[in-house]
Amino acid sequence: MSAAAALPQPGCADAPVLRERGQREVFCGLTGIVWLHRKIQDAFFLVVGSRTCAHLLQSAAGVMIFAEPRFATAIIDERDLAGLADCNAELDRVVTRLLERRPDIRMLFLVGSCPSEVIKLDLSRAAQRLSQRFLPQVRVLNYSGSGIETTFTQGEDACLASLVPEMPAEPGAARSLLVVGALAEVVEDQFLRIFAALGVGPVRFLPSRRAAELPAVGPGTRYLLAQPFLNDTARALEARGATRIAAPFPLGVEGTTAWLTAAAEVWGASPARIEEATGAAAARAGAALARIRQRLEGKSIFFFPDSQLEIPLARFLSRELGMRLTEVGTPYLHRQHLAEELALLPAETMLSEGQHVDRQLDRCRALRPDLTVCGLGLANPLEAEGLTTKWSIELVFTPIQGYDQAADLAELFARPLLRHAKLAV
């Protein structure tokens, strides 16, 4: 019996979902550059946008004045928007100057901050033109990070989806495991050790650490999603012949074990081997979580829709830390990718998709949860009203996947409550 089949049913699999449309409070997809530029070590992200975009990136990344990060903004001003300048010629000039200054760049992403109709520049064609000019030294790709079209984690999805057509074909019917989603290197290394102990391999990661190390893909590729917000990337991989391994996401002991087990069973690992490879790490993580559970058990939590991590996080907090879910909001609910997670949520969980921020604020104020997970734009006003908040963006910047990070993930939710208790008069 597979790990997926062993999960309790139905949980929230068939639960009604409150679908809302209205004013949203989210970061735009450009924010993904902040973690992606650290992950792909010889890539550069050139945002084609406004001064506002440049300020956002610099503020979100905390870039110091003397730092030389691997992202920048080609600023579009009024002259460009009015059609008085040749935007393609200007972009070619900026890219040429950038590559002359930074000869270490092997992959250049042109990232649109607004739809093409707004910036009056077709970045897809520009990327093709520039790639022909600078190959084989530099591959030029493009994707949209527009806040009009995306939530902030969808920037990663768009970036990875742009890489899929560049991935080499897996020869023949060779079988491999592809782990999809940006993970901290320490987390990758931990997973590689466990997969080796399980007899699973070869194991590759998307994105890879170097532009030249793009993994191969083909009919023999089985892939595991490490992040729940990679819908476009998943579709692109399946168009190349890859097959998804259905599993919960690797958050907490339960999620990590089920995620690893799903891959191990595809490779034919026995239950005894799975226990031998995962048992010690799971036990250590469980002991660490038990200490933190004392601070979180029985506390209520409310999720505003922001990162698309909300449902896996809710499962972890409810089942492993005993928190009470008041509402779990998510920007988009992909039932196929989240089926195993939904099956593990309490049947009475209130689920919402999309956002009408005023209505959701009213529900949050009425419920007065012990902890509210939301974006930066809502956190300070809610704190001023006496609600304790947790920034959702920190959950994307921080390594939270796997056994060794389970206690760190729990602490991210325990700290705001501890801070609130210390500040109480």
Residue-by-residue DSSP string for 195-244: HHHHT---EEEES-SSGGGPPPBSTTEEEEESSTT-HHHHHHHHHTT-EE
> Cα–Cα distance between 21 and 252 in angstroms, integer?
32
pLDDT at 8: 46
* Residue of 114, 121, 137 whose CA lies nearest to 42: 137
Identify the weakest region by mean pLDDT among 74-83, 178-187, 196-205, 403-412: 74-83
Residue with the bigger pLDDT between 350 and 75: it is 350
pLDDT at 6: 44
pLDDT at 48: 86
* Residue of 382, 234, 244, 380 whose CA lies nearest to 308: 234
Q: Please, are residues 105 and 98 in contact by the beta-carbon 8 Å criterion?
A: yes
Backbone angles phi, psi at 78, to 5 degrees: -60, -35
Q: What is the pTM of this model?
A: 0.90
Q: Is pLDDT of 264 > 50?
A: yes
Q: Is pLDDT of 148 > 80?
A: no
pLDDT at 29: 78
> Phi/psi class of residue 181: alpha, beta or left (left: φ > 0; alpha: ψ in -120 to 50)?
left
Work out the end-to-end distance of the chain between its first and last CA atoms, rounded to an integer number of angstroms.
Answer: 54
Highest mean pLDDT among 32-36, 46-50, 129-133, 286-290: 286-290
Length of the chain in residues, anyone?
A: 425
Long-range contacts from 313-317, C-beta under 8 angstroms, 24+ separation: 313/251, 313/373, 313/395, 314/345, 314/349, 315/248, 315/251, 315/252, 315/254, 315/255, 315/341, 315/344, 315/345, 316/251, 316/252, 316/254, 316/255, 316/409, 317/413
Tens-place pLDDT, residues 349-400: 999 998 888 999 999 999 999 999 998 889 989 999 999 999 988 898 899 9
DSSP 193-205: HHHHHHT---EEE
Report, in angstroms and rounded to the nearest whole number, the Rg of the chain calculated over CA atoms. 22
Average pLDDT over residues 211-223: 94
Calculated CA dihedral for residues 113, 118, 121, 124, nearest 10 degrees: 60
Average pLDDT over residues 81-102: 78
Instruction: Please report where in the chains the tokens 């089926």 appear, as a residue.
Output: 339
How many CA atoms lie less than 13 Å away from 5 in the CB half-sphere? 3
> Cα–Cα distance between 340 and 262 in angstroms, integer?
11
Task: State the pLDDT confidence band at 68, using cuts at 50, 70 and 90.
Answer: low
* Residue of 396, 362, 361 whose CA lies nearest to 378: 361
Q: Please, are residues 391 and 343 in contact by the beta-carbon 8 Å criterion?
A: no
pLDDT at 411: 96
Task: State the pLDDT confidence band at 53, using cuts at 50, 70 and 90.
Answer: confident
Q: Is pLDDT of 157 > 90?
A: yes
Tens-place pLDDT, residues 266-294: 999 999 999 999 999 999 999 999 999 99
pLDDT at 298: 96
Q: Please, are residues 73 and 49 in contact by the beta-carbon 8 Å criterion?
A: yes
